[in-house]
Amino acid sequence: MAMPLRQSLRLGGFLLKQKLLRRDKFALLVELEPLFACNLACAGCGKIAQPASLLKQRMPVEQAVGAVEESGAPMVSIAGGEPLMHPQIDEIVRQLLDRKKIVFLCTNALLLPKHLHRFTPHRDFAWMVHIDGLRERHDASVRRTGGFDAAVEAIRMAKDAGFRVMTNTTFFTTDTPQDVVDVLDYLNDELGVDNMQISPAYAYSKAPDQEHWLGVQQTRELFATSFGDGRRKRWRLNHSPVFLDFLEGRRELECTAWGIPSYSLLGWQRPCYLLDDSYAQTYQELIEETDWSAFGRGRDPRCANCMAHCGYEPTAVIATMGSLRETIRAVVGG
């Protein structure tokens, strides 16, 4: 099952507008990081390696909303750090929804029960809960015993309150195809989340674990096997069929990192969410003064094993909306 129909239609209209305006680079979704602080120290993330002075900072509401408005992106993924540690995160979400943005609030869910009352269900809002496998695997990944059970309880609480809930799962070399099947079956069938996102682990240089990143061939083998027997069509995956084809190794895509730019306390990150070569102070500066042709597999050695959605999902979405056949696949699943 592909992306929700409402989301697909919104993206289709946005892409048509960009084509009419003859824009060749534009933001589909902004990765917004209003803080770097977190209540976990996950093995695959290095955000809390930032200096203590930066970990104490919280982005003002006006700055966060202004950056998204500046980009013109129809969608926002609010991450961090742990966004629920931001004292005004509910106001950031409200203001973005008032501006007709589709908002995903990423969280490890440990603080969600405490803060759920600050939010109101909205058709353009979804919780994006970090679930890196079933109990033992997830707890090892987030380095917190009981983390899985707490996240599951929070998901059920949010669902009962009428919220849309999605999950985001990263896979490493320690995961087998059966691990992928087991966690997605659980999230899809038993827990009943609305949609799921998946990603192969990228070799993030600041992460504590530097030994278990997936290479391109490993990624293809993992997902090609996991997606077998028609399972891929049954799962409520929040990805275009084209991107899932890419993960399986059934087609190649060019990196279009400009499609999902990242904005944090440091500014607009160059060239993408996963590499931080430098920072631009304005979105226009990011787009116009970054040599986008220098990045992607076959161009920059650091990109050699990257198949992350922040670089390749925009390419897949553009390819989908530019083809009647792929558009139908995205709507009906394929």
pLDDT tens figures, 124-138: 999 999 999 999 999
Q: What is the pLDDT of residue 204?
A: 55
The pTM (predicted TM-score) of the whole model is 0.93
Q: What is the pLDDT of residue 193?
A: 97
Using only the alpha carbons of the chain, give its radius of gyration: 18
Q: What are 129's two structure tokens?
A: 């809960």
Count of domains observed in the chain: 1
Residue 201 confidence class, pLDDT cut points 50, 70, 90: confident
Q: What is the pLDDT of residue 23?
A: 92
Which CB contacts under 8 angstroms, 24+ apart, belong to 326-331? Answer: 326/240, 326/241, 326/242, 327/8, 327/12, 329/2, 329/241, 329/242, 330/2, 330/3, 330/8, 330/240, 330/241, 330/242, 331/2, 331/5, 331/8
Q: Flag the least confident range among 31-35, 113-117, 198-202, 269-273.
A: 198-202
Say if residue 84's pLDDT is above 60.
Answer: yes
276 - beta bridge partners?
271
Say if residue 42's pLDDT is above 80.
Answer: no
Query: CA dist 107 to 20, 57, 91, 222, Å?
Result: 36, 18, 16, 26
Say if residue 209's pLDDT is above 70.
Answer: no
Give the separation between CA 289 and CA 15, rounded to whole angstroms.
23
Residue 18 confidence class, pLDDT cut points 50, 70, 90: very high
Closest CA to 110 of 35, 184, 42, 187: 42
Give the separation between CA 108 and CA 43, rounded to whole angstroms.
13
Per-residue burial over 153-162, b if 16 or more Cβ lie within 10 Å, else e, is ebbeebbeee
Q: Flag the least confident range among 6-10, 81-85, 152-156, 308-312.
A: 6-10
Give the separation between CA 330 and CA 245, rounded to whole angstroms.
12
**Three-state DSSP class for residue 32:** strand
The two beta strands, 276-280 and 267-271, are antiparallel
Q: Which residue has the higher pLDDT, 41 or 153?
A: 153
Q: What is the pLDDT of residue 334?
A: 63
Which positions ≥6 away from 98 have C-beta within 8 Å?
Answer: none
Q: What is the pLDDT of residue 246?
A: 94
Say if residue 303's pLDDT is above 80.
Answer: yes
Closest CA to 248 of 258, 236, 233: 233
Say if residue 153's pLDDT is above 90.
Answer: yes
Q: What are 231's two structure tokens?
A: 């399972």
Q: Which residue has the higher pLDDT, 34 or 204?
A: 34
Residue 210 confidence class, pLDDT cut points 50, 70, 90: low
Residue 257 confidence class, pLDDT cut points 50, 70, 90: very high
Q: Flag the least confident range among 86-90, 224-228, 328-332.
A: 328-332
The domain containing residue 241 runs over which residues?
A: 5-332
Closest CA to 226 of 159, 187, 177: 177
Residue 44 confidence class, pLDDT cut points 50, 70, 90: low
Which positions ≥6 away from 326 have C-beta within 8 Å?
Answer: 240, 241, 242, 319, 320
Say if residue 212's pLDDT is above 70.
Answer: no
- CATH number at 117 reads 3.20.20.70
Q: What is the pLDDT of residue 321?
A: 81
High-pLDDT (> 70) share of the chain, %: 93
Residue 298 confidence class, pLDDT cut points 50, 70, 90: confident
Q: What is the pLDDT of residue 331?
A: 64
Mean pLDDT estimate for the chain: 90
Say if residue 119's pLDDT is above 90.
Answer: yes
Q: What are 82's two structure tokens?
A: 């742990």
Q: Flag the least confident range among 105-114, 166-175, 237-246, 302-311.
A: 302-311
* DSSP 8-state code for residue 187: I
Task: Give the strand order in the sheet containing 75-78.
Answer: 195-200, 164-171, 125-130, 102-107, 75-78, 29-32, 262-264, 267-271, 276-280
High-pLDDT (> 90) share of the chain, %: 69
Q: What is the pLDDT of residue 211?
A: 61
Q: What is the pLDDT of residue 215?
A: 85
Give the separation between CA 11 and CA 5, rounded to whole angstroms.
10
Could you check whether the bond before residue 81 is cis, i.e. omega within 30 degrees of 0? yes
